[in-house]
Structure 1
Amino acid sequence: MASNITTLLNNEAAWPNSTTIEAPQAIPEALIFRLATRGGTVGGDAQTARIAYVDDDADAAFIKEGEAITADAPTISELVVPTKKIAVLTVASRESYAAEGVPNMLGGSLARSVTAKADAAFLADPAPAGSAIGMTGLANYDGITDGGSITDGLDPIIDAIATISGNGATPTAIVMGYDSWAYMLKLKDGSKRTYIGADVANSATPQLYGLPVILSPHAAKKTVLIIDGTQVVSAVGQVTTATSTERYFESDSIGIRVTFRFGYGVLRPDRLAKLTVGAGE
């Protein structure tokens, strides 16, 4: 997961410098790359990114042979996407940094740290207060379809898929935390048989109703999201890795810093659904 970060940390010539890596290569496990469509690039410390998209398709029509075709232009709109910057800084003594395998471990640790922070913001961040600019996690995004509650069966998931599909969605994933998955795994019908069979429960890549189930410890608690990845558009910057022997000169140590700016927006929120898990919760 952290091969490119690790390569930089192993390169002594890069220590005093700041080097950028394409984010999908530096932190490929981040859910923003699995659940969203990349729509733009964040430059520098911009708080927002502007992403153009087709809001209304041009209308196709049947015509007779030789008949003139009437032009119909699609409607182009713009989505303003708020972004956030993630940063992590760690310090290692020169001796420990030079030990075999330490740059590899540090590279993996920093990549996991950035990925975890990005996933938590993307899935579950609360809406910013007042007029503040900031990212709102998918679970709290305004306007997404309320799919109701999953209490004693999985029918609400089927209904939610049908509802957002009727709104024009093509669902691509079901996203939840391990708490919600555990609740669903224990649901039983009148014959005491679990709704989710052993083949799905034991799979490393489970699916429900033909959709991959993405499990994340950073998902909102007691929540299930049904996503159409074409409706979630991201703006991402590069992952910047910098090392310095000068900042911590007096302690003969090396500082390693990683930063990443990203954001996302939803084109048509009613093509996503949110369900709660458990009665009265």
Structure 2
Amino acid sequence: MATPTDILTSHGTRLQDRIAFSEIVFPAVEHIPDALIFSQSKPVTMEIKSEAGSVSVPFVPELPASQIIEEGQEIPESAAQINSLNIFTFKITSLVTATNESVEYDNNASKIQTLLTWQMDKSVTNKADAVFLQNAPNEDANGIPDGPIGLFNLKGITQGGEIANGEGITNALQNGLSVLVDALAKVSAKGAKPTSLIMNFGTWAQLLNLQYADYRPMISPDVANAPIPMLYGLPVVINNAAPDNKILINDANVVYSAITDMRVSSSAHSKFSRDATQFRVTFRFGFGCTNPERLAVVSVYNPVPPKAKTTKA
């Protein structure tokens, strides 16, 4: 029988055919690459350990003016100011317990641990997306929130109107996707450069059901069937964490995030009496928006058609 090879980790060693009692540190993007925080914001990876600590991210509210000058002429100083955005970070974690027999079955410990880690990564991704889009934190006596404010709930976000759906649609210019076009125009007038439209699949389905008066779909089937649907040149990001009947016009250029490395740990200490091992995944992240008015929320109204009146015989 071959002797197992020791594999170095950040905290000791583990054996290829045994449970890893260790902790390994990875860049979070390697473990949860599908989390919206990476594609829908400007992430900054930092070493953050303090529970109450915050990260200060510098930004320029308005771009400095550029100009043409003659050769040798002194360059005039811009009046643009530099502000900072304080981002509080919060820990997200997943913890599971498995019997030692199950994770050591047929010398497949490494494969089983990989499967468990993948499942925990998915759980962390789902939670991070829910926080990123919908979180509504409470504040303590000192005004410190217990979590970041989700993008859909940002104070000062532009209200983009309401798209009507159902029997009420008779004129696309009045009740259809023109509401979305108007919302894009609103945020663009405030300096936004929209990067995506975020919604859940139920809301996307409502948009796909929009029809002109002659029952033609407002959204082309080619768009609906594309691997990455696009509306008005913007990718449609479908995510279950988005609230029902809401569309977020996002500008990732004004959404900043602070993200730590991800720690994947395992230990049998607390479950020694049960002959079991616990596996844990943790990372910290936070985010904020420098210009909430450059984001917009558009509602989708889906009225229930009135029931037909019946008469008694």
Alpha-carbon separation, structure 2, partners of 1:138 and 1:198:
30
- Bigger mean CA offset, 109-118 vs 80-89: 80-89
- Secondary structure of 2:213's match? coil
Alpha-carbon separation, structure 1, partners of 2:149 and 2:16:
37
- 1:19 pairs with 24, 32, 37, which one? 24
Where structure 2 has 5 or more consecutive residues not aligned to the other structure, the ranges are 1-12, 165-174, 305-313
Cα offsets for 1:85-131 (capped at 9, x unmatched): 11111010111112334223212100000000000000111243563
* Identity fraction in percent: 34
Alpha-carbon RMSD: 2.2
Question: Are residues 1:210 and 2:216 paired?
Answer: no
Query: 1:276 aligns to what?
Result: 299
1:25-64 aligned within 5 A: 25-39=30-44, 41=46, 43-47=48-52, 48-64=54-70
Alpha-carbon separation, structure 2, partners of 1:147 and 1:10:
56
Larger radius of gyration: 2
- Secondary structure of 2:257's match? strand
Query: 2:307 aligns to what?
Result: none
Question: Are residues 1:89 and 2:95 paired?
Answer: yes
CA shift for structure 1 position 171? 0.8
Alpha-carbon separation, structure 2, partners of 1:135 and 1:263:
6
Mark the CA change 1:70 to 1:86 in structure 2 (over 3 Å): closer, same or farther: same
- Bigger mean CA offset, 206-215 vs 149-158: 149-158
Question: Are residues 1:154 and 2:177 paired?
Answer: yes
Question: Are residues 1:135 and 2:148 paired?
Answer: yes
Mark the CA change 1:90 to 1:109 in structure 2 (over 3 Å): closer, same or farther: same
- Secondary structure of 1:168's match? coil
- Secondary structure of 2:122's match? helix
- 2:279 pairs with 244, 256, 260, which one? 256
1:55-134 aligned within 5 A: 55-72=61-78, 74-99=80-105, 100=108, 101-129=111-139, 131-133=143-145, 134=147
- Bigger mean CA offset, 61-70 vs 140-149: 61-70
Query: 1:3 aligns to what?
Result: none
Where structure 1 has 5 or more consecutive residues not aligned to the other structure, the ranges are 1-7
Moved over 3 A (4+): 8-14
Query: 1:194 aligns to what?
Result: 217
Alpha-carbon separation, structure 2, partners of 1:74 and 1:14:
56
Mark the CA change 1:43 to 1:12 in structure 2 (over 3 Å): closer, same or farther: farther
Q: Given the two structures, how large is their TM-score scaled by the length of structure 2? A: 0.81
